Structure 1
Amino acid sequence: MISVAEARARILSAFAPLPAETVALSEALGRVLAEPVVARLTQPPFHAAAMDGWAVRSADITAATAESPIPLRRIGESAAGRAFTGSVGPGEAVRIFTGAPLPHGADAVVMQEDCSADDHTVRIGRAVVAGRFIREAGFDFTLGQELLPKGRRLTARDIALSAGGNVPWLSVHRRPRIAVLATGDEIALPGDPLGPSQIVSTNALGLCALVTAQGGIAHNLGVAKDTPESVAALAKGAAGCDLLVTTGGAAHGDYDLVRDVLAERGVALEVQAVAMRPGKAVMFGHAGAVPLLGLPGNPVSTGVTAILFLRPILRLLQGLPPVDARTPLRARLTAPLRANDRREDYLRATLATGPDGVLTVTPFARQDSAITTLYAQADCLIPRPPNADPEPAGALVTVLPLTDGMLSI
Structure 2
Amino acid sequence: MSSPQLSLEDAQARMLALVEPLAAETVTPEAAVGRYVATPLVAQRTQPPADLSAMDGYAVAGQGPWQRVGESRCGAPFEGSIAPGECVRISTGAIMPDGGERVLLQEDAEVSGETVTALEDPPTGKHIRRKAFEFSPGDVLLEAGTRIGPAALALVRSSGNAQVAVHARPTLAIFDSGDELASDPTECARHQIPASNGAMLAALASSLPCTIRTGAPLPDQLDAIVAALEANADADMIVLTGGASVGDHDLARPALEAVGAELNFWKVAMKPGKPLMVARRGKQLVLGLPGNPVSAFVTGFLFMLPALRKLSGAHSCLPTALPLPLAADCPPGGVRREFLRAEWTPQGLVPLVEQDSSALLSLSKAHALIDRPAHGDGTKAGTSVPAFLVENP
TM-score, normalization by structure 2: 0.88
Residues 56-67 of structure 1: pairs in structure 2 closer than 5 A: 56-59=60-63, 61=64
> 1:50 and 1:280, CA in 2 relative to 1: closer, same or farther beyond 3 A?
closer
Equivalent pair of 1:211/1:217 in contact (CA under 8 Å): no
Look up the match of 1:273.
267
- Pair 1:24 & 2:28 matched: yes
Matched, 1:376 2:364: yes
Structure 1 residues 370 and 124, CA gap change in structure 2 (3 angstroms): same
1:258 CA displacement: 2.2
Tell me by how many angstroms 1:182 deviates: 1.2
CA–CA separation in structure 2 for the residues paired with 1:336 and 1:99: 52
Following the alignment from structure 2 to structure 1, what is the Cα–Cα distance between the partners of residues 201 and 149?
23
Q: SS at 2:96's partner residue?
A: coil
Q: Deviation of residue 138 (structure 1)?
A: 1.6
Find the partner of 1:247 among 241, 252, 256.
241
Structure 2 unpaired stretches of 5+: none
Q: How does 1:9-408 map to 2 (within 5 A)?
A: 9-59=13-63, 61=64, 70=65, 72=67, 74-113=68-107, 114-118=109-113, 121-126=114-119, 127-287=121-281, 289-318=283-312, 319-324=314-319, 326-332=320-326, 334-341=328-335, 343-354=336-347, 360-386=348-374, 388-394=375-381, 396=383, 398-403=385-390
1:53 alignment partner AA: G
Q: In structure 2, do the counterparts of structure 1 residues 337 and 115 end up closer, same or farther at CA, with 3 Å as the change threshold?
A: same
Count of aligned residue pairs for this structure pair = 385
Shift of 1:231: 1.4
Identity %: 34
Q: TM-score, normalised by structure 1?
A: 0.85
Counterpart AA for 1:380: A
Q: Residue 5 of structure 2 aligns to which amino acid in structure 1?
A: I
Give distance in 1, aligned partners of 2:333 and 2:72: 72
* Offset of residue 295 of structure 1: 0.6
CA RMSD of aligned residues (A): 2.5
Amino acid paired to 1:137? K
Cα–Cα, structure 1 residues 37 and 115, in superposed 2: closer, same or farther, change >3 Å? farther
Amino acid at match of 1:17: P
When residues 235 and 292 of structure 1 are mapped into structure 2, their CA distance, relative to the original with a 3 A threshold, is same
**Contact 1:18 / 1:317 at 8 angstroms: preserved in 2?**
yes
* Cα separation, 2, equivalents of 1:55 and 1:190: 69
Aligned counterpart in structure 1 of residue 11 of structure 2, from 7, 11, 29: 7
Distance 2:118 2:377 in 1: 71
- Distance in 2 (CA, whole Å) between partners of 1:239 and 1:266 is 11
Q: Determine helix, strand or coil for the equivalent of 2:206.
A: helix
Q: Which amino acid aligns with 1:140?
A: E
**The 10-residue stretch of structure 1 (177-186 or 49-58) with the greater mean CA deviation from structure 2:** 49-58
Taking the aligned partners of 1:390 and 1:258, their CA distance within structure 2 comes to: 36
> Which one-letter code corresponds to 1:82 in the other structure?
A
The answer to whether the 8 Å contact 1:238/1:290 transfers is no
Q: Name the CA shift for 1:268/1:101 in 2 (closer, same or farther; >3 Å).
A: closer
| SS in structure 1 of the partner of residue 212 of structure 2 | strand
